[in-house]
Amino acid sequence: MLTYRAMSHDGITVSGLVREFKGGIRAVDGIALEVQPGEIYGFLGPNGAGKSTTVHMLTTLLPPTAGSATVAGFDVATRGPEVRRRIGAALQEAALDAFLTGREHFELQGGLHGLPKAERGARAVELLERVGLTEAADRKVGGYSGGMKRRLDLALALVHRPSILFLDEPTTGLDPQSRSALWGEVARLAKQDGVTVFLTTQYLEEADVLADRVGIIDQGRIVAEGTPQALKQEIGRSSVEAIPANPDAREAIESVLRRFGEPAAAGPKGVAVRLEGGSESLGDVVRALDAEGLEVAHLQLHAPSLDDVFLAKTGRSLEGAEEEERAEEAVPS
């Protein structure tokens, strides 16, 4: 199998990066971050937080309003062509041509990157096999499933052997099996080939499983950054979530739980608190619910999650933030 290793200077450095749109809207509001060569950096945040705008700036598709960023050692604002030669990108919309086949996409993309014809063919064979699309290679992309399109998009981003890969929500809309397969490929690229990966996601699990380090962005600002483990340890305490057996008892259960800690992220049917006394106080919680005669259908102790980190830093849960943004989008300003 053909493999390649990235160079040691293939990292990303961002300082005070701002992107302002018409009407003074600051989609990205002075972010700073550093991604080491060969690292998978997860950029986590709800819809509209500024993730894609950041990716567009770092991939030279959008000039920054202020601040600076270097990718592979080149300034994105002034050295666009050099940056583009060294990066691959699979953007949010898997922009493929429905009327071309998978192989024809490689022919076009490889050709535009200046690969000789023979190399384009060999690269297509290698990458199509790697993402499991060999059999579908000569079918028009219009007939591909969402997962196949995403895998082709990823493979196309690798055609010119980039040292830095930008993946903008690469698994949105994929079924769990396709998602897992894509995670495996991204992890392999970073670990075996040394490719630096900048990955945006709104999935907590994705950031948790895949990223070496995570930056959490909300309303254009990075609110937390570190390894998933360190971020969770920073929050420290476990949370308990209770799903009432009787939905009418929800408020009463919430009232009992509040005696043991502050609110935490919960599913739509549940209520949760972060336990001030840690996991050891779970027994007290059960006894208190029992003493009040409150029945729960399900009681679960959660180790701290990235959603807890998001909640602690922004006062909202990640899912709640998305719902809020959707509501804001629905209301004309």
Instruction: Give the nearest distance from C-beta 165 to another protein in angstroms.
Output: 12
Residue 43, beta-bridge partner list: 200, 215
CA angle, residues 27, 151, 198, in degrees to nearest 5: 35
DSSP 100: S
Q: Are 6 and 163 in contact (CB under 8 A)?
A: yes
User: Alpha-carbon distance 110 to 112, whole Å?
Assistant: 6
Segment 183 to 242, residues that bind another protein, using CB under 8 A: none
Residue 46 to residue 326: CA distance in whole angstroms: 10
Q: Measured from the CB atom, is 60 or 201 closer to another protein?
A: 60
Q: Which two tokens stand for residue 315?
A: 């006062």
Task: In angstroms, give the least distance from the CB of 200 to another protein.
Answer: 15
In angstroms, what is the minimal distance from the CB of 104 to another protein? 7
With beta carbons less than 8 A apart as the criterion, state whether 214 and 203 touch. Answer: no
Q: Quick check: 99 binds another protein (CB under 8 A)? A: yes
Whole-Å CA distances, 305 to 176, 195, 207, 274: 20, 27, 11, 11
164, 53 in Cβ contact below 8 A? no
Nearer to another protein, 142 or 184 (CB): 142
Secondary structure letter of residue 116 according to DSSP: -
CB of 74 to another protein, least distance (A): 10
Closest distance to another protein from the beta carbon of 41 (Å): 19
**7 vs 95, which CB is nearer to another protein?**
95
Instruction: Output 95 or 301, the one with its CB closest to another protein.
Output: 95
* Distance in angstroms (rounded) separating the CA atoms of residues 159 and 316: 40
The shares of helix, strand and coil residues in the chain, as percent rounded to the nearest 5, are: 40, 25, 35
In the chain, at which residue ranges do the beta strands (DSSP E only) sit?
12-21, 25-35, 40-44, 66-71, 74-75, 87-90, 164-168, 196-201, 213-218, 221-226, 239-244, 261-263, 271-275, 296-302
Our CB check for another protein shows the closer of 149 and 213 to be: 149
Q: What track of x and - describes contact with another protein for positions 101 through 140 (by CB under 8 A)? A: ---x---xx-xxxx-------------------------x
| Dist CA 83 CA 166 (whole Å) | 12
Q: Which stretch binds another protein (CB under 8 A): 54-62, 217-225, 244-252, 253-261?
A: 54-62
- As measured in angstroms, the least distance from the Cβ of 66 to another protein is 14
Which residue stretch of 97-105, 205-213, 258-266, 273-281 sits at the interface with another protein (rule: CB under 8 A)? 97-105
> For the window 143-182, what string marks contact with another protein as x by the rule CB under 8 A?
-------------x--------------------------
User: What x/- string results for residues 59 through 88 when contact with another protein is judged by CB under 8 A?
Assistant: xxxxx------------xxxxxx-xxx-xx
Shortest reach from residue 299's CB to another protein, in Å: 46
Amino acid identity at 228: P
Nearer to another protein, 161 or 221 (CB): 161
- Total binding residues toward another protein, as defined by CB under 8 A: 34
For binding to another protein (CB under 8 A), which residues are involved? 59-63, 76-81, 83-85, 87-89, 91-93, 95-97, 99-100, 104, 108-109, 111-114, 140, 156
